[in-house]
Amino acid sequence: MRLLAAAPLLLAPAALGQNITALTDLLQALTSSGHTRLAGIATQLNSTSAGQSVLSQLGSGTPFVLFAPTDSAFEKVPSNITSNNDVLADVVAYHVVQGNFTGTTTTYPNTTLGRTLLNDPTYVQLEGNKSQVVAWAVRGDGKVHVLNQRNDSTVTNTTTVGNITVHTVDHVLNIPESLAATIPADNVSLTGIEDALHRVQLSTQDANNQSSSTSFFDVLNTQLHGFTFFAPNTSAIQEANSTISSLQSNATLLQAVFQNHLINGTTVYSPELPGQNFTSAAGEPLSFVLNATGHFVTSGNITAQIIQPDVLLPNGVIHVIDRVLLNTETDSGAASSAASSASSAATQSTSATAPIGFSATATLVGPGGSAPASTSGSSGSNGALSTYAPSVVQVASVAVAVLGVFLGGGFVLM
């Protein structure tokens, strides 16, 4: 059997002491569920420090969620991924989520988010050197979808192997891309905001205290490490275009409008918003409500609905809204205080082993009047939930084996 050849490869420094017989049994179980493309992957991972870290953590006995593309998805992986062990390790790391997510299932637009093992600064520039997240939810078709993917990735089966939950997905997961790359991929919602942000110029200072001007778009695209931006969709920009144009001659007011869409220094995902108050980059309050009709954000006397939450970026998150928050008020003192607090908070360590903000939304009623669902990990009609109960060292073996199928689908490098 071809899979058995992979077993000796797993006896690497990151995964010593494995029970070969138990590993063979577990590999056969994975094979029966369509995960056979793994031979040699463990060796490649073990050749890099990032890959060794992934293997070590998966063997630690703590809970993880693994998103595993099918064999057919694996066949589509570009050769520039498989031939570069460092890139390969980063792609794999983005498929491994830290924590126990049993009983955590949400119906869109409520979302489930967890921190992955991906923290390579080439791909992740969040505040406090935090790892990147992945988001998923049950959509209207009753299936669990991984969100913000160029290919619509759905969970087709869920298998529990000791402390590791394996979600089979039909595409490889794309690592979040820059704002400049994300807008064309989400052109229905975001093309309008790109032009608007390019028209807003901000004064900046470099390390030598030299003043210059840069667009709001460029600031969000590359210059912030940690932010939350409420992006009006294209129709909202079009509806408010006359007002925005009238402010073009007053740079201060135009800046204020878009700064009131921004939380500076803090990446706040949608489950963390309900019932909270934040301060915008202009120093104005932002308040949030989740009720039976949806998620809402208010600035000044304008309330907008969040219609597409958790558009993930390397350096922050975007929530798409259906109105422009036309608030021109500012409070420089409050803005400065909020930025200072965000900088301080970014230096504090936080737990990455639980669903992000889930406790805030778990009991709230979502759109349509239904509360977010709670299950034992099965993805609805996506396939049967099968369960194995090996020892911890056996679990580490399977975790390494499962990594071999993480590289399928149409992943496109930035």
Work out the average pLDDT over 210-239. Answer: 94
Q: pLDDT band for 108, please (50, 70, 90 cuts).
A: very high
The pLDDT assigned to 381 comes to 36
Judged by average pLDDT, the poorest of 26-40, 260-274, 322-336 is 26-40
Question: Would you say residue 61 has pLDDT above 80?
Answer: no
**Average pLDDT over the chain, rounded to whole?**
79
pLDDT > 70: percent of the chain: 74
User: pLDDT (tens digit, 9 = 90+) per residue, 277-327?
Assistant: 999 999 999 999 999 899 999 999 999 999 999 999 999 999 999 999 999
Name the amino acid, one letter, at 184: P
pLDDT at 390: 37
pLDDT of 81: 87
- Taking the whole predicted model, whether its pTM rises above 0.95 is answered as no
Close Cβ partners of 31 (under 8 Å, ≥ 6 residues apart): 3
Q: What is the pLDDT of residue 2?
A: 39
Note the pLDDT of residue 90: 95
Structure confidence at residue 368 as a pLDDT band (50, 70, 90): very low
- Per-residue pLDDT at 400 exceeds 50: no
d(CA 15, CA 45): 12
User: What integer pLDDT is reported at residue 229 of this predicted model?
Assistant: 98
Q: DSSP of 157-217, one letter per residue?
A: EEEEETTEEEEEESSPPPPP--HHHHHHHTHHHHHHHHHHHHH-EEEEE-TT--EEEEEHH
* pLDDT at position 347: 75
First to last CA, the chain: 37
pLDDT at 112: 96
Q: What is the pLDDT of residue 325?
A: 98
- Token digits for 343? 């900088």
Q: Which residues on adjacent β-strands are paired with residue 113?
A: 135
